[in-house]
Amino acid sequence: MRVLVIGSGGREHALLLGLAADPSVTDLFAAPGNAGTEGIATNRSVDVASADAVVALAKELAADLVVIGPEVPLVLGVADALRAAGIAVFGPNKAAAQIEGSKAFAKDVMAAAGVRTAHAEVVDSPADLDAALDRFGPTWVVKDDGLAAGKGVVVTTDRAKARDHAVECLESGHPVLLESFLDGPEVSLFCLVDGQTVVPLIPAQDHKRVGNGDTGPNTGGMGAYTPLPWLPDETVTQIVDEIVKPVAAELVSRGTPFNGLLYAGLAIGADGPAVVEFNARFGDPETQAVLALLRSPLGQALHATATGTLAELPPLQWDDGAAVVVVLAAENYPGTPRIGDVVVGADGEGVRHAGTARDADGKTVSAGGRVLAVVGTGADLAAAREQAYARLAEIKLPGSHFRNDIGLAALEGRISV
């Protein structure tokens, strides 16, 4: 099977590594890829937002399967164009991808499906903003209604900060979603979805804030771990049965069945799980941790989803133990990052490249905010953390920063439901 993976981040590097381990995968291509993916796949340049360009490349490569990593091409309908060309694709069509592309659409779907989520109001005019803010608090949750690469959300007890973010979104031409605050620890649950067939992966927890102790602004994710020792197995079953399956069924009823990876971001509160948001693709950096423990052939699972045969897929098998991923970010991230610096040790064990490139001398240099991530695995969370941070210590990048508490709260028993 010849597989083309669309994207250039750590998620795509992890997907390519998983696909390379599948004996049914004979050829791997990444478009555009990064400095790390070129070691396991053939990198090709492409405009990921151009359906015509992606289809042309898939045809040129005679791809048997295209896996779309990022959200932007999905929301723009690249998967639709591939399917129209008769090419198997892992990723939802444009209509179903609105579950991520429009938070207001997602709220409407959840309401119709009877799924627990935060109360929300859409504000599309500055004139209505202050009255709407008065109906929320003392903790405000303000979301850009469009795509924001994981950084369009502000959660604050400071009304002025909430208002400033809302105004910024409105001035950029995007409606704003105000939500009631959902208490409780957060969980990321990835599910393979083919119409109404749902196959969950193991749950993970992301660390969104830039600083230790969940301080500072939101980022695209500074690290993750899996599995979650504090989350009962029956809660995962409850999430699938009461949230993911009803949403999948609602999308089918609307004539826009979901096909690909449905990512449920949830808060586990006193009343049970409630949806914070849905994404229409693998999450980053949780993917790096989750796929590190997957024993089943990844290519076969993604191909079954893409071709409508997910119900026939054997149960997924997982390695025992735990996985931890820690992100190394460039100086000033999540602001405008410093780029172009040589990364020493970038090709070490467990490294997943994200914002990297090659300079004229062939050296790996930083090319984005989240430069790379390091994965550690072990018999338990403590061992996985130890390996991840030991590997990270071998990497040098001027001005870089990372969190040193990924998975620590769970290890110390400070998370419970």
Are residues 44 and 81 both part of a single domain? yes
CB atoms within 10 A of CB 234: 8
What is the reported pLDDT for 151? 54
- The reply to whether 221 falls in a domain is yes
Are residues 274 and 237 both part of a single domain? yes
Looking at residue 373, which CATH number applies to its domain?
A: 3.90.600.10
Q: Is the pLDDT score of 260 beyond 90?
A: yes
Query: Which residue among 312, 343, 362 closes a domain?
Result: 312
Give per-residue pLDDT as tens, 93-110.
Answer: 999 999 999 888 999 999
- The reply to whether 372 falls in a domain is yes
- The reply to whether 417 falls in a domain is no
Are residues 265 and 192 both part of a single domain? yes
Are residues 306 and 236 both part of a single domain? yes
Strand order in the sheet with 176-179: 120-123, 176-179, 140-144, 153-156
SS (H, E, C) the chain: CEEEEEECCHHHHHHHHHHHCCCCCCEEEEEECCCCHHHCCEECCCCCCCHHHHHHHHHHCCCCEEEECCHHHHHCCHHHHHHHCCCCEECCCCCCCHHHHCHHHHHHHHHHHCCCECCEEEECCHHHHHHHHHCCCCCEEEEECCCCCCCCEEEECCHHHHHHHHHHHHHCCCCEEEECCCCCCEEEEEEEEECCEEEECCCEEECCEEECCCEEEECCCCEEEECCCCCCHHHHHHHHHHHHHHHHHHHHHCCCCCEEEEEEEEEEECCEEEEEEEECCCCCCHHHHHHHCECCCHHHHHHHHHCCCHHHCCCCCECCCEEEEEEEECCCCCCCCCCCCECECCCCCCEEECCEEECCCCCEEECCCEEEEEEEEECCHHHHHHHHHHHHCCCECCCCECCCCCCHHHHCCCCCC
Give per-residue pLDDT as tens, 17-27.
Answer: 999 999 999 99
- The reply to whether 106 falls in a domain is no
- The reply to whether 44 falls in a domain is yes
Are residues 351 and 248 both part of a single domain? no
pLDDT (mean) for 34-54: 97
Give per-residue pLDDT as tens, 188-226.
Answer: 999 999 999 999 999 999 999 999 999 999 899 999 999
Rg of the chain on CA atoms, in Å: 20
Give per-residue pLDDT as tens, 378-400.
Answer: 999 999 999 999 999 999 999 99
Give per-residue pLDDT as tens, 303-346.
Answer: 999 999 999 999 999 999 999 999 999 999 999 999 999 999 99
How many folded domains does the chain comprise? Answer: 4
> What is the domain extent for residue 27?
2-90
Looking at residue 148, which CATH number applies to its domain?
A: 3.30.1490.20
Are residues 175 and 188 both part of a single domain? no
Are residues 300 and 370 both part of a single domain? no
Query: Above pLDDT 90, what percent of the chain?
Result: 93
Looking at residue 280, which CATH number applies to its domain?
A: 3.30.470.20
Owner of token pair 């198997």: 88
- The reply to whether 107 falls in a domain is no
Looking at residue 43, which CATH number applies to its domain?
A: 3.40.50.20
Query: Which residue among 312, 346, 376 closes a domain?
Result: 312
- The reply to whether 105 falls in a domain is no
Angle, helix 298-306 to helix 10-20, in steps of 10 degrees? 110
Query: Which residue among 255, 289, 312 closes a domain?
Result: 312
Are residues 333 and 400 both part of a single domain? yes
Are residues 288 and 225 both part of a single domain? yes
Are residues 358 and 385 both part of a single domain? yes
Are residues 386 and 349 both part of a single domain? yes
Tell me the pTM.
0.93
Are residues 307 and 327 both part of a single domain? no
